[in-house]
Amino acid sequence: MSNGSVFADIAGKYDVINSVLSFGQEQKWRRRVVAELPNGRLLDLGAGTGAANDVFGDRRVVALDPSPEMLSTNGASRRLVGVGERLPFEDNAFDAVFSAYVFRNLDSVDITLTEVERVLRPGGRLGIVGLGRPRNPALAAVHRAGSAVVLPLVGVTVGAREEYTYLHRSLDKLPPPEELYANRPLRHVDLWRMGPLGFVYGAVLEKV
């Protein structure tokens, strides 16, 4: 996760800004994905400030993030600085892995998915909340034009223009999730679109 430091300077504002940009729906999106994950030991991959902690229930959470600044405000009982491409855990260590708004920031989706498969127990699941462009090309063009204006403007407002300009560019970094998670070492379970124009997605993959 090469861009772990991108939002370090605005760690204290990050969750509030995300809530505004998601029209207050981001916890709803997280909760829907977490509902598809087994109980037990869970790795929050790219945990950041711990925004997802409230939706994990009684799972035993390990928070991993490349940004010490983000983790410093995370209330998880176990917190580690690290990246998805080199998970510092033994094989078969987790019942579930959860990741929200992280995969477009990875150095390598392929290596991270291989690492996630390694640390999951058989039958364990990976749940992802991600951002991208709408599937419809016309809607994608509208969304791209809108985010080119709105996200840098938000960045200027909070003194983080560079960070939010990066966010706009990152939305085009990866293929659509319907392609991104196909033919992987983890079995595809489900994928659905959420949010205005379907620019948010949820995905669930399982170790067989």
The CATH number given to whatever domain includes residue 110 is: 3.40.50.150
Report DSSP letters for the chain, one per residue: -TTTTTTGGGTTTHHHHHHHHTTT-HHHHHHHHHTTS-SSEEEEET-TTTTTGGGSTT-EEEEEES-HHHHTT---SEEEE-BTTB--S-TT-EEEEEEES-GGG-S-HHHHHHHHHHHEEEEEEEEEEEE---SSHHHHHHHHHHHHHHHHHHHHHTT-HHHHHHHHHHTTSS--HHHHTSS-SSEEEEEEEESGGG-EEEEEEE--
Predicted pLDDT of residue 76? 95
Give every CB contact of residue 94 below 8 A, 6+ residues apart in sequence: 40, 41, 42, 43, 62, 119, 120, 121, 124
Contact yes or no for 50/103 (Cβ under 8 A)? no
pLDDT band at residue 64, thresholds of 50, 70 and 90? very high
Task: Please count the structural domains in the chain.
Answer: 1
The mean pLDDT of the chain is: 86
- For helices 137-157 and 161-170, give the axis angle rounded to 10 degrees: 170
75 in a structural domain: yes
141 in a structural domain: no
3 in a structural domain: no
122 in a structural domain: yes
Q: Provide the residue range defining the domain that includes 41.
A: 8-134+173-206
Predicted pLDDT of residue 18? 61
Question: Residue 32, Cα to own-chain centre: how many angstroms?
Answer: 14
96 in a structural domain: yes
pLDDT tens for 75-134 read 999 999 999 999 999 999 999 999 998 998 899 999 999 999 999 999 999 999 998 888
166 in a structural domain: no
pLDDT band at residue 1, thresholds of 50, 70 and 90? very low
